[in-house]
Structure 1
Amino acid sequence: MPRWIRGAAFLSAAFALLVLGAALRPLVLPEKHTATPVLSAVEIGFTQDMTAHHQQALIMVQRLDPGVDPTVLRLAQQLDSTQRLEIGTMLGWLRLANAAPMSARPMAWMHADETATHQHSLPVAQTEPKAPPGTGMPGMATTTELDALATARGRDAEILFLQLMYRHHRGGIAMAQAADQLLTAGPVKETARSMIHGQAQETGLMGMLLAERGAAPLP
């Protein structure tokens, strides 16, 4: 066999081995890829807890006597529509992050970064409603309160619904303010700020409706 043919064959074989080695390299020595998390731990925790918080608001609306004053009924329907939309958005984020829809440790995200917590000092903690035992979330209604709402009728139902939802909103605002202070940027922070603004307006309206009925918000 002529020398040039042997040389060409050798080069061809060497090239084939080079290509094969490049193809097999990821299988033998997997390349390390550090994927950027879709959501941070604080974002996931806040989104999970606010989803649960919103879901109780929907339960309150469902248990409200449909025969109440039309103004209260329209408010309840508006709250239901807004919070359903926000729940859908938050569940979508959690799916993208491959995270569970509910947290095994409610409100743990507020302590995920102790340094940040101390730096921001979270002034809302002094005025936020207390959380029912076992929930860890401020403003949540107890089972007894929800049962009472389901059986209340007329003016009593209006007052109890407004009181429970007022307190519920105050708790939601406190959670959103905490997330806003812990997060630096992004859609979750923007949504938290939107919740603060929207729920503050709704709380103001509920306070007026309670005053018209000679009732006061719950502590």
Structure 2
Amino acid sequence: MTRSAVVRAIAFTSLAVLLLAIGAALRPLLAPVNPPVADPVLNATEIGFIQDMAAHHQQAVQIAQRLDPDVDPGIAALARQIRDAQSVEIGTFLGWLRLAEAPPTNRQPMSWMLADTTAAHKHSPSSRPSDSPTELMPGMATMTELDGLAAARGHDAEVLFLQLMYRHHLGGVEMALAADALLTHGPVKQAARDIMATQSQEAGLMAAVLSQNGP
């Protein structure tokens, strides 16, 4: 190799080393080692509320399914309406939880509601039957009540269904009110407000029917 070739080789090698050094120095500026973490899809309150409301809706579907099919057509139609609407909402809630990579069930039901002492004071769970476990959400029926509804027929079934679903709706409204108070914006807050409006209206209808056709 000639002297000039050796000089060029050394020059190219030096240039390559220099470029590598410059690239290493600029790398933190061009590509941060710790890029910013994206905001979560849902916060903890939203996740807890959706998990609990999905479970709450699932029992409303059970109540509707246990109603004697031979009851008054108007009450049977109301049961189907509640079953169908809440089944759709359950699917929506579970879809949101999948997007947030959150489990479908809450290991600590209602913990999101009690995290804020003001909301907890205003909306403390109070709509529970006396023989239900303390971990149940507001308005939930016991297994004894569900079995009683499944066995009831005729007028007795109509009255028991309305009583259970009325209390269940009040519990759902209570949960939605708490979520609305804790959340500032977003689709979960809107869902809570929609639940308040729909279930308050249906609860009013059930109360009117019970007052006219009670025991």
Task: Report the TM-score, using the length of structure 2 for normalisation.
Answer: 0.86
CA deviation vs aligned residue, 1:47-95 (integer Å, no higher than 9, x gap): 1111110000011111100001000010000001110111011101111
The residue that corresponds to 1:164 in the other structure is 164
The residue that corresponds to 1:201 in the other structure is 201
Match runs of 1:12-161 below 5 Å: 12-15=16-19, 31-112=34-115, 114=116, 117-118=117-118, 120=119, 123-125=122-124, 128-130=126-128, 132-161=132-161
Identical residues among aligned pairs (%): 50
Shift of 1:169: 0.1
**Structure 2 alignment gaps of length 5 or more:** none
> Which residue identity does 2:14 align to in structure 1?
F
Give the secondary-structure state (helix, strand or coil) at the position aligned to 1:125.
coil
> Which residue identity does 2:160 align to in structure 1?
L
Equivalent pairs, count: 206
Shift of 1:20: 8.1
> Which residue identity does 1:130 align to in structure 2?
R
The question of whether the paired residues in 1 share the 8 Å contact of 2:141 and 2:164 is answered with yes
Give the secondary-structure state (helix, strand or coil) at the position aligned to 1:172.
helix
Give the secondary-structure state (helix, strand or coil) at the position aligned to 2:59.
helix
The question of whether the paired residues in 2 share the 8 Å contact of 1:176 and 1:195 is answered with yes
Q: Structure 1 segments of 4 or more deviating over 4 A?
A: 16-23
**Rg larger for:** 2
